[in-house]
Structure 1
Amino acid sequence: PSTPGSSPAKDLVSDRERASGNVYDKPLYWAGKLFFRNKGESYVCSAQFISPTVLLTAAHCVRDSETGEWYDDVIFALQYKNGEYSQVYDYVCTATNKGWVQDGFEKYLYDFAVIKVDKPSKTGYFGTHWNWDGQYSDAVKIGYPGGVENGEVIQVEKGPIQFVEGVVQLTHGNPADQGGSSGGAWIGAFSDGNNTDANYIISVESFGVDGQPGIDYGPYLNEEFKSLFDYGENGCQ
């Protein structure tokens, strides 16, 4: 069996600063909206910090699975809400697992990506948990679905999880169009308090299936995710 592992969350916002009116409460202020271009067209996804200078999102938000082509003009807006944000980050490099570039369903096992950004997070970052099988029965999903508030306000949904054909299924019950929430964190042990053993990302939003409103799927984070995480921390070298 694979060995479980985790990285802890870290909050860089003091109680005094939090009370002064941040856009989001903990842990949502570690997340934001991702903007990018593909062949001149503009797109959006969701993303969040998992270390001082590394973001986690979905692979399909940074790279074409058929051609392997990387997308351009990747920009991350921390604490995005209704066109406003606290900080903009440019990318240094983006990285996916090589398994993402292939035909067929198996690519979705690798639909996660890391982005090294040009400056540290001002608010902190989520923890991560890989090879976590059996430790969580539900998760909280965050992101910017276009079907709610036109994707301008981060949304929070919760529901039970289970494994289906190697990926994680989350039944959150919201039938709205989830486009734009891709790459948003699925969080185990979600907490807005001072609990240090909390807020572990266990998957990210990957895809939905026609005829299954309120149900989404994401990759299981394993040791290949941890290798990619380390690669991003090292500047994609």
Structure 2
Amino acid sequence: MHRATDAAGSRPARPGSSRAAEEIHARSLAEKPDRTCHGYGKNIESFSAQERQETLEYWTDERLRRAKPVESPTAPAETPRRIHEEKESGQGSTDASAPPAEEAEAISTENPEKVDPNVRPFWNCGKFFLTQVNPAGGTQDYQGSAAFVGDPKVVMTAGHCASAGTSGRINTKFLFIRSAWSSIFGWVGQKISFSHCAVPDEWSVNGNYAYDYAFLQAHERSEAGWLGLDCRPQNSGIPSISVGYPQNYGNANDMYAVRGTADYDIEGIDRMPQNPFSHGCSGGPWIIYWSNQYAPDNNRAISLNSFGVAGYPGVWGPRFDGRTFDLFRATRDYQPPSAGDLHSAAGG
């Protein structure tokens, strides 16, 4: 809805629009009836101030360096057919897009290119760190990819970065480093902790790749805006770029982008056959209309790096729809209970 906050903390109006118009638009969105997550459930977890502080203290430079790239799942060849059979008929909200704040120099080739994480839209993306509790005991630290989308306090990543899938458990110690780049001093960028995480049950319980996404409410605002979130069905077939920190390019130490097309593959998922990214790219966005110039329709996330299929080139990602937008909105609007709410109940 808005452009990035500048260094002085002011929020400039979108070119060609007045601040009054921006405020009216924001108010109209806020007053729409809540239709959160119709048609499917969500697995949620909230984090206290103490937990956020413990997370920030946990992620020392050494732990950040030693975190393993999240493995990109390799699904069996029959997976697309199973997804088609399991996809639900409801489409959730019809309000299926949220505008970007800022708008990258064009990726001139379909070969992956190292990109500058300090220019738009790449400065909305970054590294996502997490700790996974193993079923047999013990923990493992991982690193993946993520991005601010739709709002300066909402981060999107892959569902398998937030939850192992079919376990029903949400991972712990989430940390996002926006515009992350590796230096001799460790990872540099804006560190973001989280207040809340939401994952569709279809992923965290059923392991359905059509729902392999998660949204997290950030405790800190993005200092460089956010990508738009576009969940409309007509986005398949539009040229896009995939962004992430893949292990097979730069050893997961640099941000890369590759140009391709998010083509319709099967119900609920799209395929980018030109995308060669491997482990560590999980959660990185697929962006249409990428540009280093601001415009309301530029730089919109339509999917993300999710999984591969045995025997086929490319990367698959969930096709965002109204239910995706519902989960985003529920995460954006989440309000933690007050201390009074925890210890009182209204009479009947």
Shorter-chain TM-score category? 0.7 to 0.9
2:135 is aligned with 1:60: no
Structure 1 residue ranges without an equivalent (≥5): 13-21
Structure showing the higher helix proportion among its residues? 2
Q: Deviations over 1:141-185 (max 9, x none)?
A: 0001111111011100011221222210012253xx511110100
2:108 is aligned with 1:5: no
Larger radius of gyration: 2
After TM superposition, the structure 1 = structure 2 runs for residues 60-139 of structure 1, keeping only pairs within 5 Å, are 60-82=160-182, 83-103=186-206, 107-133=208-234, 136-139=237-240
Shift of 1:235: 2.4
**Cα pair distance change 1:73/1:223, threshold 3 Å:** same
Which SS does the other structure have where 1:115 is aligned?
strand
Q: Deviations over 1:160-213 (max 9, x none)?
A: 221222210012253xx5111101000111112233321010001100123334
Q: What CA distance in whole angstroms lies between the structure 1 residues aligned with 2:311 and 2:126?
A: 29
Query: Is the 2:236–2:270 contact (alpha carbons within 8 Å) kept by the matching residues of 1?
Result: no
**Paired position in structure 1 for 2:119:** 25
Q: RMSD of the alignment, in Å? A: 2.1
**Cα pair distance change 1:132/1:54, threshold 3 Å:** same
Q: What CA distance in whole angstroms lies between the structure 1 residues aligned with 2:117 and 2:147?
A: 15
After TM superposition, the structure 1 = structure 2 runs for residues 160-171 of structure 1, keeping only pairs within 5 Å, are 160-166=261-267, 167-171=269-273
Q: What CA distance in whole angstroms lies between the structure 2 residues aligned with 1:200 and 1:169?
A: 17
Normalised by the length of structure 1, the TM-score is 0.87
**Cα pair distance change 1:68/1:157, threshold 3 Å:** same
Query: Partner letter of residue 86 of structure 1?
Result: G
Query: Is the 1:136–1:188 contact (alpha carbons within 8 Å) kept by the matching residues of 2?
Result: no
Shift of 1:221: 0.5
Structure 2 residue ranges without an equivalent (≥5): 1-89, 104-115, 134-138, 337-348
Runs of 4+ off more than 4 Å = 1-4
Q: What CA distance in whole angstroms lies between the structure 2 residues aligned with 1:10 and 1:137?
A: 21
Q: What CA distance in whole angstroms lies between the structure 2 residues aligned with 1:150 and 1:131?
A: 34
More off after superposition, 181-190 vs 193-202 = 193-202
Query: Partner letter of residue 41 of structure 1?
Result: Q
Query: Partner letter of residue 119 of structure 2?
Result: D
After TM superposition, the structure 1 = structure 2 runs for residues 144-159 of structure 1, keeping only pairs within 5 Å, are 144-159=245-260
Task: Name the % identity.
Answer: 26
Q: What CA distance in whole angstroms lies between the structure 2 residues aligned with 1:71 and 1:160?
A: 31
Query: Is the 1:130–1:222 contact (alpha carbons within 8 Å) kept by the matching residues of 2?
Result: yes
Structure showing the higher strand proportion among its residues? 1
**Paired position in structure 2 for 1:43:** 142
Q: What CA distance in whole angstroms lies between the structure 2 residues aligned with 1:5 and 1:103?
A: 24
Q: Deviations over 1:14-45 (max 9, x none)?
A: xxxxxxxx852110001100000112101111
Query: Partner letter of residue 219 of structure 2?
Result: D
Shift of 1:103: 4.1
After TM superposition, the structure 1 = structure 2 runs for residues 192-211 of structure 1, keeping only pairs within 5 Å, are 192-211=292-311
Normalised by the length of structure 2, the TM-score is 0.60
- Residue in structure 2 matching 1:225, options 324, 329, 346: 324
**Cα pair distance change 1:103/1:231, threshold 3 Å:** closer
More off after superposition, 54-63 vs 126-135 = 126-135
